[in-house]
A and B are shown apart, each in its own frame.
Chain A
């Protein structure tokens, strides 16, 4: 479960977020909706621990994680530009988080195989990430984020830039993978139809 309580962020004189609060239960998806520049991505970074809020608190499973470093928070983030590690293959990108958790090799390989299958990218396993199309890269980014089984999954405009046919197939696989994960999900988008389709609650920023 994720709780955001009274979060405000300013960079210098520019106020990005003011007193934002909401809750996301386990296995629930909440959409953050709003135009560009309204602070949606910043809010995700605050939840992940990548940006310090000026005021406010983040609770994960009822624990205040304000002083917990990003690598110990158990929050997965799908970046808007995917941020796949360019020197690793698809398989190694997906296994990255499992390696950090020192998951034994056999379990790691099984988990990676499951995710490759779930996101329908088995044929890409040994490809270099700079050879992937937009839709393929997004599938890899989602698989990588879900691999270490985070409590909270954040998605930063995951379907932006995909053409309509690929959009349909990615959104279907993505929502089913998220449902299986049982995580609390925050889905950032500027598309109202998409928000209504994927989330049980919508927060306007």
Chain B
């Protein structure tokens, strides 16, 4: 396949660059400017060096690295065998089992954290954090590794005929051939766990904190912006290094998945898989139970307390964030597909929201837009907009994946049929992603419903969302507050699970 003519290329590029403008403006105004502003205003070199000789900060850094490493290891240890199982075997209820494992990724961190806390009874916070993080990230590992193992099933069959057992095939075929995907999944998981906020804040309490929680404590509760900025800089630098050093090259071996290689699982193994996947239901079951039981009695008192206003507000924010995120991701997709040589630069700038943590985003906004006409802190659009920014990298990935079915020949065909470059983008590129737009919209809505980091910095009384309300209620004494908090958490779980299952896709 050879390239298209210069005349047409230039017209596509112009559209790509125009599409990039709103995305870049959003990143610059709502992320880069606030982040740069707080660094310039609060960074002091002497404070920077003295902060790191502080024993508490040293402990925070140590815990951050340790919990992220252990969480990643546990998620990979559970996720890779599950990915192999789903890739190579057929069994009754496979779709549901796969959904049980992969849906947790969109569950609100607050809900998972309080479930884990209830199960552990507040003991061994570090271990509880690690298990809660693994619960979320097994989904990431399965999602990234499964396609790669599915593409190697021919070798797996060859190994079976040569007498290799299941474990040998996992270790000698799946793991080596999917090593790049596994490494990629590990890097993504490590970054997620390192910057995790809700889980650590709720489970870790005062003793077990990580950099992300410490940034919040310093900036919002103690007003110590210098230390917060120093920590944010170290965290961003450290994660950039991790990404650069460990980011793998493209998958070494990639073959078309062979559907004939899928085998039936034996009945005993099916039971085992069901029990294992059923474990993913435990946190939800705990939440539901705790919303209905107090001091050994069944009660609906917590449910009766639910303020529909907050629920409606959360749903409105989610719908707004979802539309905004689809818009940003759609524009970004057009920009990165068609802007030619500048697409790598646009892609790099647009991925800044991934590198800057949600807390830093929130703190940057609060510290920058705080006076005169620039004071947007109380604006109702701020929270859903930040949710959209947090969700856009995920929305973009979903849309982008369905654009893979479009080749330059499809666009050339549209041109020979009379479609101008703009019409081609509208009817071919955006047409092809239309089917996954609903799914991407629901996922970004779920991300918004569960978002806790940026919201905990930005939300005021008038813009409190369900996760913020849950955290507030569970932090207060009294049985009714606890019941109310758990009832809200159950409702949130119900809304998100219904939304996710309604899409009929188990590959969240």
Contacts and interface: CB of A to CB of B under 8 A. Distances in A.
A126 interface: no
A148 B5 contact: no
Contacts of A37: none
Contact of A69 (B7, B407, B412, B432): B7
Interface in B395-436: 405-407, 409-410, 412-421, 423-424, 427-428, 431-432, 434-435
B418 A148 contact: yes
Contacts of A147: 417
Interface stretch (A24-32, A42-50, A172-180, A186-194): A42-50
Given A42-B2, A87-B435, A50 B414 contact: no
Contacts of A52: 5-7
Contacts of B415: 48-50, 69-71
Given A83-B410, A86-B432, A87-B434, A69 B418 contact: no
B107 to A, nearest CB: 31
Contacts of A101: 418
Given A83-B412, A83-B413, A87-B432, A49 B5 contact: yes
Contacts of A50: 4-5, 8, 412, 415-416
Interface in A78-102: 79, 81, 83-88, 96-97, 99-101
Interface string B5-38: 1111001000000000000000000000000000
Nearest to B406: A86
Contacts of A77: 412-413, 416
- What does DSSP make chain B's interface, helix, strand, loop or mixed? helix
Contact of A67 (B4, B7, B407, B414): B7
Contacts of A84: 413
Contact of A96 (B5, B8, B414): B414
B2 A51 contact: yes
Given A49-B5, A50-B8, A79 B418 contact: no
B3 interface: yes
A97 B7 CA distance: 21
Contacts of A73: 416
Interface in B420-461: 420-421, 423-424, 427-428, 431-432, 434-435
Contacts of A100: 414, 417-419, 423
A40 B414 CA distance: 21
Given A42-B2, A85-B432, A86-B406, A71 B412 contact: no
A12 B417 CA distance: 29
Contact of A70 (B3, B407, B410, B416): B416
B428 A85 contact: yes
A71 B418 contact: yes
Nearest to B419: A100
Contacts of A144: 413, 417
A49 B8 contact: yes
Given A70-B416, A100-B417, A83 B434 contact: no
A70 B12 CA distance: 13
Contacts of B11: 69
Contacts of A70: 4-5, 8, 412, 415-416
Nearest to A67: B7
B416 to A, nearest CB: 5
Given A85-B432, A100-B423, A79 B413 contact: yes
Contacts of B423: 71, 100
A84 to B, nearest CB: 8
B4 A97 contact: no
Nearest to B430: A87
B4 A51 contact: yes
A96 B410 contact: no
Given A69-B7, A71-B418, A77-B412, A11 B2 contact: yes
A84 B423 CA distance: 16
B431 A71 contact: no
Contact of A51 (B3, B424, B428): B3
A150 to B, nearest CB: 8
Contacts of B419: 71, 96, 100
Contacts of A115: none
B427 A76 contact: no
A83 B427 CA distance: 14
Contacts of B410: 83, 85-86
B1 to A, nearest CB: 9
Given A50-B416, A86-B432, A45 B2 contact: yes
Contacts of A72: 418
A11 to B, nearest CB: 7
B401 to A, nearest CB: 13
Interface string A154-192: 000000000000000000000000000000000000000
Nearest to A73: B416
Nearest to A74: B418
A48 B56 CA distance: 69
A4 interface: no
16 contacts: A49-B5, A50-B412, A52-B7, A70-B4, A71-B414, A71-B418, A75-B416, A76-B417, A77-B412, A81-B409, A85-B413, A85-B414, A87-B432, A96-B414, A100-B418, A100-B419
Interface of A: 11, 42, 45, 48-52, 67, 69-73, 75-77, 79, 81, 83-88, 96-97, 99-101, 144-145, 147-148, 150
Interface of B: 2-8, 11, 405-407, 409-410, 412-421, 423-424, 427-428, 431-432, 434-435
Given A48-B412, A48-B416, A71-B414, 20 more contacts: A42-B2, A45-B2, A49-B7, A50-B8, A50-B415, A51-B5, A52-B5, A71-B421, A79-B413, A85-B428, A86-B405, A86-B406, A86-B410, A87-B431, A87-B434, A87-B435, A88-B431, A96-B414, A96-B427, A148-B417
